Structure 1
Amino acid sequence: MHRIFNSLTIFSSVQWLFFIFANTVVVPISLGSIFQLPTETIAMMLRSSLILTGVACILQGWIGHRYPLMEGHSGLLWGVMLNLGISASALGMSFEQIGGGIATGILLAGVVTVFIAVFNLIEYVQKIFSPMVTSVYLFLLTFQLIFIFFQGMLKVSDDGSLNVPVSLLSVSIVILVSLLKIKGNAVIGNFSILIGIVVGWVLYVLLFPQFIEQPVSTGFAISLFPLGQPNLQYGIVAVAFFAGVLNLSNTIASIRAAASLFKEEADNSQYRKSFFLTGLFAFVSPVFGLVPYTPFTSSIGFLQSTRIFHKDPFFIGGGMLVLIGLIPPFGDFLSTMPVTIGNAVLFVAYLQLFGTAYNSLNGTVLNSFTVFRVAGPVLLGVCLLNISPEILSSVPILLQPFLSNGLIMGVVLSILMESCINWEKIGQREV
């Protein structure tokens, strides 16, 4: 009992709470905005997201993969769903038709995920998402997240210009958290994320009260399938289904990275149970208009930053998130956390993910021939991450969500290259 409620555990739990919340709150709000849903529906989605995210974290850490990894809304599927919502008018469909097709595709992907777990087909999935594919995924995920958080920590005015004072505060928080991590003692370094959020939030309120966000009320209205009732818009269903299945690469990468961090090898049952839970939550997510769940590989960066590896704070943080979802005033308060400050702190936390990606190569020696094995998929993905989606406007509309997503295309290219090329034989050629 004393171990659970000592001061370090309490602060660690709050730190986990802020980390999970900062990674969660923007997803349902952005999705509801793109699909032009009423405020009360968005509030319901946010409340449902907080509750389900907390429950998913606890279940995965307890009976799933059993690692302290945040279970959150899939970044890959989030991007695909936003892209489809933005493209509704170009597709000649209503938001309800798009959302319903997405729901059907996600439900089918959930069926496949549960099927893989029940019939123990994990070995075949691992062959597809080989260690090299996982490395490519980790590199691209690092670049994608860093781009997102760098842009998010900068305050852009309505006229498109940079708000220098607010942006400088974000940069200052990045420097503060980095110095606390590098120069601080063990305790301060472990809580650098929490310190950065609290200090940044207080300074933001004192210096820029005019920019304080109004709370998003998390009232108790309930709306089922808010994005649209499941339908058979085959193109939309296919896109959502493919992205949902490809999302399994995130689970493989997360568990492998966590096992490496804990200096152990994950057994088959951990993958199997994690897949099963991911599949079950894929059935629940579209009912509340949410992005499906997946273990967050980026949690590895958080763990490496805090150096707090035991699971008690993780479970308590997840439980606190559930309570926040159940008690609206708590959610209302946390929803006022400055977005720029949250992104600045996450920017530092996810710098560690680059080390995870690098270490996942396991000392693989690359010569002038085999370097294509990594460089091809990673650099293609980075290029696609940095081009404007409008460039692909002449491409068939249903291919655009794939081709404009550097993470998807990089992973797909890596899978093809690993399947079709004998890299060991090429590696033996003289340079």
Structure 2
Amino acid sequence: MAGTSSTERGSWNSKLGFILAAAGSAVGLGNIWAFPTKVATEGGGAYLLVYLVCTFLIGFPVMVAELAIGRKSGKNPVGAFKSLSSNKFFPLVGLWGVICGVMILSFYTVIAGWAFGYAFEEIFFYFGWDAGANWLTDTSNGFRNAIIAAVFMIGTIKIIVGGVSDGIEKATKTMMPLLIGIIIIMIGYVMTQPGATEGVREYLLPDFSKITTGLIFSAMGQAFFSLSLGMGALITYGSYLNKKENIPQAAAMVTLADVGIAFLAGLLIIPAMYVAKNAGIEIFVGDQLASSTDLVFQILPALFHSIGGAAGLILGVVFFLLLSIAALTSTISLLEVPVSFVIDEYKVPRKKASWGVGLGVLVVSTIVAFNTSLIGTFDYIFSNLGLPIGGLLTCIFVAFVWKTDSAITEMEYGFAGIRQTLFSKVWPMFIYVICPLAILYNIITNFI
């Protein structure tokens, strides 16, 4: 167990703890608002179907590779590539993952702060404290953005200081069931409202004529980002895995958890949009559905306000707390990656590493808070391009440097008969050919 004054790495207390932590890393704001909006605008049920296929055919094999690298090396992304090969290039791939995670965290805390602030805005609106409500919803206010982002970051740091089992695992064991429970309760309420049925049809009924190359690669990009691949998070989490754990099984459970929560989020958000439409709230801009940001920070608050009374207050507060919990489960993993790097490579005690790295990222977050136009730029460079590049290079490393056979040997711990299964025959083909080609096409498309 990693103490706050120790450089010991720690480990998960249980498989459930790992699965919830890894699923928490994967489940974030992208699942709760970006995914439902993409489903609604890019093909409804058709997009949902393609997303599910991409998650298991592209995301799952890469996740297995990252977990195997992490457990075999027992190190952070940089140390992992160093320990598994004398090749000087691939530690830079690990460093790139660390950098991507840091830069994503720098703007993620600002957006998470918006969600956290809106939970209190619902309370202020209910009591008629208009000045306070307006201040909390002014996302162009750099001072406001910086203050709430700082609160969010400090909460994340305090969890990371606790270490793997007493910090990350304990927190996610509480937050993940709470998150799922909140989503299910809100779905139950929304489904009773006028207009919800239209949203369910839009979400679940596929229009196969909308399946195009663009839709497929959009869904693949969403799957890749939502699983936290390419940034070293799963290499880091894998490094805390016990040898007795079955890596493919654990990866499958994490993937199922991520997909399941994304599905539930869509079942909440899209019907809620059509409930808002039924209440006279505009959800379209011309012929296009409103953007995910407008949906979360304009349309849904307007819906909660139109409901009014205690019901509107409770729904609004609970929804934005849901977003805050989802964001926190992701910021934990985003911060743990660079903290693990500092602990491993520089032998810094966990408490000092957590506060040092966290406050360093907060400096960048403060710059973003006063220049929110940077969010789009950072998201494009470090999420849309950075993560697929990291995933592509990880596939190349496992296929041609460390070798898939070495990875399968590592997986034999916890899965003794793996070489006699179909998985051991099929998985290398995905790592050698299918995943790299699909990811490369996605990178080129994003770049163009």
Q: TM-score range by the shorter chain?
A: 0.3 to 0.5
Question: TM-score under structure 1 normalisation?
Answer: 0.40
Q: Which structure carries more helix by proportion?
A: 2
Question: TM-score under structure 2 normalisation?
Answer: 0.38
